[in-house]
Amino acid sequence: MTLNRILTVALTAFALLSTPTSAQEKSIVVSSTTSTEQSGLFGFMLPIFKMKTGIDVKVVAVGTGQALDIGRRGDADVVFVHDKVAEDKFVAQGYSTKRNEVMYNDFVLIGPKSDPAKIGGGKDIQAAFQKIASAKAPFVSRGDKSGTHAAELRYWKDAGIQVTPSMTWYKETGSGMGPALNTASAMNGYILADRATWLNFKNRGDLAILVEGDPKLFNQYGIMLVNPAKFPHVKKAAGQTFIDWITSKDGQDVIAMYKINGEQLFFPNAKP
């Protein structure tokens, strides 16, 4: 074999070995709640992040419970969700070493304009849930262990009501926010949703926001790097770069810039 041939083979082998690693280092997997994607925030924000850093973010958008489970398996580099109790547990179990607050918005209770439970205009989520249960008005639940589902179950508990799938008026969909809203629209049912996904939702039918403004409807989002000590393949540097950016003034300003019809969807509140 000639020297040139040897060099060609060696360079080809080097390229095959090095290129995938280089490409992988320039991408991360983020398991995230559906609202950050279905609201359009990721579509707005991630191209800006990639332009600034060269890092491509591959999003797996599922309910918060599933997103955390993906992190527990080490199948994501970063987890971006909205259930503080579950996030604190994730850290306590050693799957991350730090939870970072990023932004907030709020939940809203949506229902048909005909409003058979007579909750429209109210600001008390507990009273609204009690009226829906008393009227046995159709209610659509995500039923997917998401952050929104966890919040909904807390509100039912606060209202002194134990809901079960066997109740004829209570329908669990096991789906993300967008599909669950489609079901509520088709059924003319009540549903708890995050405001951002609702503002970006087009198939509203006869639905409208009926209850909002209760402090209990506050909806905080947090972000965590999956612990590389537990999963050595986690891309620590690139994942931390994303977290540092989204919690920096630059990233926080981008979050605040995202609006639909002039209405801001998320409000940055990362702590320095």
Looking at the structure, tell me whether residues 213 and 226 fall in a common domain: no
Residue from 150, 123, 128 nearest 139 by CA? 128
Whether 52 maps to a domain, the answer reads: yes
Whether 10 maps to a domain, the answer reads: no
Looking at the structure, tell me whether residues 119 and 89 fall in a common domain: no
Looking at the structure, tell me whether residues 207 and 131 fall in a common domain: yes
Whether 144 maps to a domain, the answer reads: yes
Q: Which domain holds residue 144?
A: 106-217
Helices (H), 144-194: 147-158, 177-187
Looking at the structure, tell me whether residues 120 and 211 fall in a common domain: yes
Looking at the structure, tell me whether residues 71 and 127 fall in a common domain: no
The beta strand positions in the chain, using DSSP E, are 27-32, 56-61, 78-81, 100-112, 139-141, 170-172, 190-194, 207-211, 218-225, 259-260, 263-264, 267-268
Looking at the structure, tell me whether residues 211 and 228 fall in a common domain: no
Whether 6 maps to a domain, the answer reads: no
Looking at the structure, tell me whether residues 203 and 111 fall in a common domain: yes
Domain count, the chain: 2
Contact 139, 191 (CB under 8 A): yes
Looking at the structure, tell me whether residues 182 and 197 fall in a common domain: yes
- The domain that holds 127 is classified in CATH as 3.40.190.10
Looking at the structure, tell me whether residues 113 and 207 fall in a common domain: yes
Residue 257 in tokens: 């810039």
Contact 36, 80 (CB under 8 A): yes
pLDDT digit string, tens, across residues 209-248: 999 999 999 999 999 999 999 999 999 999 999 999 999 9
Whether 15 maps to a domain, the answer reads: no
Contact 110, 209 (CB under 8 A): yes
Q: What is the pTM of this model?
A: 0.85
Looking at the structure, tell me whether residues 99 and 225 fall in a common domain: yes
User: Given 201, 217, 233, which residue is the final one in a domain?
Assistant: 217
Looking at the structure, tell me whether residues 204 and 121 fall in a common domain: yes
Contact 270, 101 (CB under 8 A): yes
User: pLDDT tens string for the chain (272 positions)?
Assistant: 444 444 343 434 444 444 443 444 699 999 999 999 999 999 999 999 999 999 999 999 999 999 999 999 999 999 999 999 999 999 999 999 999 999 999 999 999 999 999 999 999 999 999 999 999 999 999 999 999 999 999 999 999 999 998 999 999 999 989 999 999 999 999 999 999 999 999 999 999 999 999 999 999 999 999 999 999 999 999 999 999 999 999 999 999 999 999 999 999 999 87
